[in-house]
Amino acid sequence: MSSKEKKSVTILTESQLSSRAFKDEAYEFYKELRKSQALYPLSLGALGKGWLISRYDDAIHLLKNEKLKKNYENVFTAKEKRPALLKNEETLTKHMLNSDPPDHNRLRTLVQKAFTHRMILQLEDKIQHIADSLLDKVQPNKFMNLVDDYAFPLPIIVISEMLGIPLEDRQKFRVWSQAIIDFSDAPERLQENDHLLGEFVEYLESLVRKKRREPAGDLISALIQAESEGTQLSTEELYSMIMLLIVAGHETTVNLITNMTYALMCHHDQLEKLRQQPDLMNSAIEEALRFHSPVELTTIRWTAEPFILHGQEIKRKDVIIISLASANRDEKIFPNADIFDIERKNNRHIAFGHGNHFCLGAQLARLEAKIAMSTLLRRCPNIQLKGEKEQMKWKGNFLMRALEELPLSF
């Protein structure tokens, strides 16, 4: 999408937001929006009319605004409800990310104990072993695709072990995850995604049957126990929560590790500074989260009550999409926002969201990234991009900022 084309566009569509072309120029587009059009109109197909939010202060305000709902049943009457776009939609959408209080609190409480500070720290040695094992496989080759060889397998192994899922199934999750986070309403994509989600539901049904017969000390067994108690978790909520934990448990961390590595490869002064001062790793991770936010756009929020924002009426049933990527580059909050600075002070990014839906796995993602990046830089001191940075391609994806691949030599 060229600058000329951008100026002539009055409404952005889902397909444009999901395009690779948009990802390539998104930061410049967001910069223009923050200056001149804080609310940008969206056309989201079957989901209706929406608004894209680009400024940090607006994002903070709306992420905790009680007039916005994640569960569309709290906005639409029975007659107004849209038909399901996918056959398996109801089975996979009854999770905490699509819920509002008090349901959200109930669902989050069921899994929160697995993500306490103490429980996460207990995973440190395991994550370190995984990181070393993955690098053992590629180091003799002096080359790897960071996404396939390191950034994807590390978090999927961790979350699989936490949930009690066979590791041999992890490649299937990659395909299913893409189908889940793909917002496309193009007929051919809908049909393909519906088929993939049908496979996922069948897998979950089989997995849950097995866990009922042979419960263990894993998170899925704990959720099944909550479901069997009746009042805490329905069957649909059980399947939806397992799906969410699988997808959210690895997808964002893949992007964090990949995007951070890419940023360091493109900013050699910052890479050298981190090598010389390893104690800057935590600060570097926070800057990577801000600079190339793993989740670019939030999931949908529905307007339950109309309100005015910047002189514009947001009507009931309007969709609100917040660009975390844009908010995290807001010049009013972050001095020299387009500069990657691993020593940035007062880094108040919202890469993990804000309010009730702040990412439950944020601490785990940070620990995985710290171990993954520290191990990578220690064991591969001469690491560099194989090819030019201009050749690296962002995936066409609505929610995520993700590279298709990141070839590295060392």
Over the stretch 118-157, which tens digit does the pLDDT of each residue have?
Answer: 899 999 999 999 999 999 999 999 999 999 999 999 999 9
Question: How many C-alpha atoms does 40 have within 13 Å on its Cβ side?
Answer: 27
Residue boundaries of the structural domains of the chain: 3-409
- Per-residue confidence at 84, pLDDT binned at 50, 70, 90? low
Lowest mean pLDDT among 32-36, 113-117, 231-235, 385-389: 231-235
Q: Does the pLDDT of residue 288 top 80, yes or no?
A: yes
d(CA 346, CA 348): 6
> In the 8-state DSSP scheme, what is residue 151?
I
- For the ranges 164-168, 197-201, 262-266, the maximum mean pLDDT occurs at 262-266
Strand order in the sheet with 143-145: 143-145, 407-409, 384-385
Cα–Cα nearest to 204, from 220, 227, 183, 180: 220
- CB within 8 A of 261, min separation 6: which ones? 146, 151, 373, 376, 406, 408
- Per-residue confidence at 388, pLDDT binned at 50, 70, 90? confident
Tell me the percentage of the chain whose pLDDT exceeds 90.
70
3-class secondary structure, 83: coil
Q: Does the pLDDT of residue 251 top 50, yes or no?
A: yes
Cα→Cα distances 386→23, 331, 403, Å: 22, 32, 14
- Per-residue confidence at 167, pLDDT binned at 50, 70, 90? confident
pTM exceeds cut of 0.95 = no
The pLDDT assigned to 185 comes to: 61
User: Which one has a higher pLDDT value, 167 or 188?
Assistant: 167
pLDDT, mean of residues 330-359:
97
pLDDT, mean of residues 150-168:
92
The pLDDT assigned to 227 comes to: 73
d(CA 389, CA 406): 9
d(CA 27, CA 25): 6
Q: Does the pLDDT of residue 190 top 80, yes or no?
A: no
The answer to whether residues 367 and 127 touch, using CB atoms and an 8 Å cutoff, is: yes
**Architecture category of domain 3-409 in CATH:** Orthogonal Bundle (1.10)
Cα→Cα distances 315→50, 62, 144, 198, 298, Å: 10, 14, 49, 35, 19
pLDDT, mean of residues 95-109:
92
The pLDDT assigned to 252 comes to: 93
Cα→Cα distances 115→127, 331, 362, 374, 409, Å: 15, 33, 9, 22, 35
